Amino acid sequence: MSAPVVELKAAEVRFASGPPWAKRHVHALRGIDLAIGKGETLGLVGESGSGKSTTGKVCLGLQRPIKGQVLFGGAPFIYRRRALKGALAAVLQHPQWSLNPRLHVGTSVAEPLVINGMGTTRERGAAVAAMLERVGLEPALAKRLPHQLSGGQRQRVAIARALITKPRFIVFDEAVSALDVSVQAQILNLIRELQHETGFAALFISHDLAAVRYVADRVAVMYAGEIVEFASGATFYRRALHPYTRGLQEASELLEEPDAKLMDVAGQPPSQGCALSQRCPLVIERCRAERPPLRPLGDDLVACHRAREALPAA
């Protein structure tokens, strides 16, 4: 089997915040392991502040972990600018974060080629026209400014810009969250088609479990800087094994028959035992004393002492 395109091994990230006299440290990632293969999409879900965007930044080399390893194509990540020559790209929630409002759309889409010294001016022009067409935009739109486009068109431009260097890995961070539902569906379909054609590996971060279920082959569920479950995409069609994942499913109305008790997922995790032990309705003494490791269960990996009880009877 070929090496995964992107791999994190026990990656840890801490941030310091606040003024010097009252510094706080946030343990944003507490030892994350993941691997994404060619043509595969890993969905990443979890509440706000659980560490999803930080995971994306670590995978892209934009945030160095304080511990652990980041591998790209099986080799340690090279943190030199342009070392990976357009092999990585990102599509963010608001296209204005990746598109300069003063640059014509065509210039923005061509920019990654210019930055990475790829192609002549003529070749870049042809590549931009072909890419705009591929994402469903008239090549004439290249002469417009971002504010002269609709939200869906702007997100298509952001996707064109991300794909122009033929990257091997793309992070989609809440890439469809700001769009109307019907436009979301078009953009998700476009992402799937483009991935089928070019085979990029993808990390698809979203609050929207339905969108994740639509595009992801596997889903990683994060809580307080840890991955508590790796589920196959199919798991998201049924009740998940981890109580926190079930809480997310119920909150997003993905399940038709929610449990009576919905897990409250706010607050800081305790320093010992399971990170969820202060708010999980299924907590037992063992949960407060012993941190559950990710263990295989059915087709999934689950970090919960009581997950086996949620397995459907054979």
Q: Applying CB under 6 A, which residues contact ligand ATP?
A: 15, 17, 26, 28, 46, 48-54
CB nearer to ligand SF4: pick between 188 and 282:
282
Residue 86 CA to residue 164 CA, distance in Å, equals 9
CB nearer to ligand SF4: pick between 121 and 272:
272
User: Could you tell me where the DSSP H helices lie in the chain?
Assistant: 52-60, 105-115, 121-134, 151-163, 181-198, 209-215, 243-251, 285-289
Name the residue among 85, 143, 148 with its Cα closest to residue 118: 85
Contact partner, 26, from Mg ion, ligand SF4, ligand ATP, none, Cβ < 5-8 Å per class: ligand ATP
Decide if residue 305 touches ligand SF4 (CB under 6 A): yes
Decide if residue 221 touches ligand SF4 (CB under 6 A): no
Strand partners, 15: 26
Q: Which of 213, 277, 301, 310 binds ligand SF4 (CB under 6 A)?
A: 277
Extract the tokens encoding 147: 């504010």
Whether the CB-CB separation of 195 and 202 falls below 8 Å is answered with yes
- Cβ at position 59, least distance to Mg ion in Å: 13
Which residue lies nearest Mg ion, judged by its C-beta?
53
CB nearer to ligand ATP: pick between 70 and 149:
70
Contact partner, 154, from ligand ATP, ligand SF4, Mg ion, none, Cβ < 5-8 Å per class: none
- Cβ at position 64, least distance to ligand SF4 in Å: 30
**By rule CB under 5 A, what string of x and - marks binding of each residue 30-69 to Mg ion?**
-----------------------x----------------
Residue 181 CA to residue 189 CA, distance in Å, equals 12
Decide if residue 276 touches ligand SF4 (CB under 6 A): yes
Strand partners, 198: none
Residue 60 CA to residue 79 CA, distance in Å, equals 10
Phi then psi dihedrals of residue 268, to 5 deg: -90, 140
Chain positions contacting Mg ion, by CB under 5 A: 53
